[in-house]
Structure 1
């Protein structure tokens, strides 16, 4: 498994040149039918790619040498690359999951420790409108409390992907985006969203920027918003 963030993405040119490699496995994680946490989002390509970052997050931390196709299905189609409607099956193999597979995941207790003791920076990956409490509900399904987890900063996952190409913005822009949001270049970070999907895109972006001490709060607002004892801040109420 590569720990070099330069290997976390592959280009359409690279994939086209390696389609015949016997040790390459390609999986379609397309989520184009999913409206995402923000229906009408100005960046639907980013929403579709969150399923790829979710799959990457799980496979990478399990120990798989895995990369995401930058630009995804949209870029591949736009460039006229070869496609097929035939089902593909790979021969089964034996795989041993890393013992520290859980290092990329955070629990409610980890987040509470970050809120009260500053053990990690907390990043809300939802839209600014959700973060600021300007929406009545978290998607209408993840609870009725407005706002964000107390002490979290806001980095909307869709802001990390170019809306025209579906490709991640470059490393310098990623680093600048995180820096202007108050995140140090290094240091523990916990990301969350509504259900642990968009948060993986923000986590992936942090790794591309060079910060590898990142965990995703998997239960996210599905758990946090539903418990009135867990602290949230509603900026719209101030």
Structure 2
């Protein structure tokens, strides 16, 4: 599979024995609703719910941190995701949260994972089949291995301030990046990591919610001052939309990519980490 698949492609592939579909919708802080309940009310046939708020490291209070490999494997097996599965991820979220699930699955050893272009909104707008209820799945074996080479820690981000070896690209809104809009989570300072570039994720999508591609996508990175050919580490509020920037760079062929898992929830909570306000 290519990293990005169309609704037409998925409709033709639904029902094949090796295909698995997952809904990775997560709501932003302050948003009303229940993503799991919405999934049970209406989802793409055969889909299972990938709970990004639960498949996390509970040993830390930093939200959405990567879980231990054993926990990830257990959750994937319970969702019927196993070795040899072709996995298509979608969401119905302004955060485009399917990118986080795509990134996690690849990190923990899944080999064929794609994102559904346009997500559930496009699928539904085209009048395609939906179903409701809790899915019944058969447990499968998921061989897990955690390749952390594309994950950055706070210590590594502090070191990068000295070396400037990697471009830091922040997916938050311009106002949050500048520190002129309060963070949605409590006890976080406003602003951004010194030297980082701002690329709000909305700039990567067309009006219908599909991904920009080719020159249009490249232009978004270029306008933000990001060089796809050079090392990039992405960040955001809690590691969700950082994966959107990561995926967009992947579509452009970027090879040297990493994601700061703690993101601003960790960096902005520290009283000693350097913080810059204002535009980049």
TM-score (normalised: structure 2): 0.73
Residues 1:28 and 2:23 are matched in the alignment? yes
Residues 1:74 and 2:121 are matched in the alignment? yes
Contact conserved, 2:167 with 2:226, CA < 8 A, in 1? yes
* Equivalent in 125, 140, 147 of residue 191 of structure 2: 147
Q: CA RMSD in A?
A: 2.2
Determine the structure 2 residue equivalent to 1:90: 137
Determine the structure 1 residue equivalent to 2:267: 224
Q: Could you tell me how far apart the structure 2 residues matched to 1:156 and 1:38 are?
A: 19
Contact conserved, 1:142 with 1:221, CA < 8 A, in 2? no
Determine the structure 1 residue equivalent to 2:96: 50
Q: Could you tell me how far apart the structure 1 residues matched to 2:197 and 2:145 are?
A: 31
Question: 1:98-135 CA deviation, whole Å, 9 max, x = no partner?
Answer: 45x21231111221122211111001110011112211
Contact conserved, 2:236 with 2:242, CA < 8 A, in 1? yes
**Residue pairs, 1:1-238, within 5 angstroms:** 7-31=2-26, 34-35=27-28, 47-48=93-94, 50-64=96-110, 65-99=112-146, 101-135=147-181, 137-141=182-186, 143=188, 145-162=189-206, 164-235=207-278
Contact conserved, 1:126 with 1:194, CA < 8 A, in 2? yes
Q: Could you tell me how far apart the structure 2 residues matched to 1:178 and 1:142 are?
A: 31
Q: Could you tell me how far apart the structure 2 residues matched to 1:185 and 1:220 are?
A: 20
Q: Could you tell me how far apart the structure 2 residues matched to 1:48 and 1:131 are?
A: 18
Contact conserved, 2:238 with 2:263, CA < 8 A, in 1? yes
Question: 1:166-193 CA deviation, whole Å, 9 max, x = no partner?
Answer: 1111122111211222222222211111
Give the unaligned 5+ runs of structure 2: 33-90
Q: Which one has more relative contact order, counting CA pairs under 8 Å at least 6 apart? A: 1
Q: Could you tell me how far apart the structure 2 residues matched to 1:116 and 1:61 are?
A: 27
Contact conserved, 2:169 with 2:226, CA < 8 A, in 1? no
**Cα gap change, 1:36 to 1:8, in 2 (>3 Å):** farther
Contact conserved, 1:9 with 1:67, CA < 8 A, in 2? yes
1:46 Cα offset (Å): 8.3
1:93 Cα offset (Å): 2.1
Matched pairs, number? 220
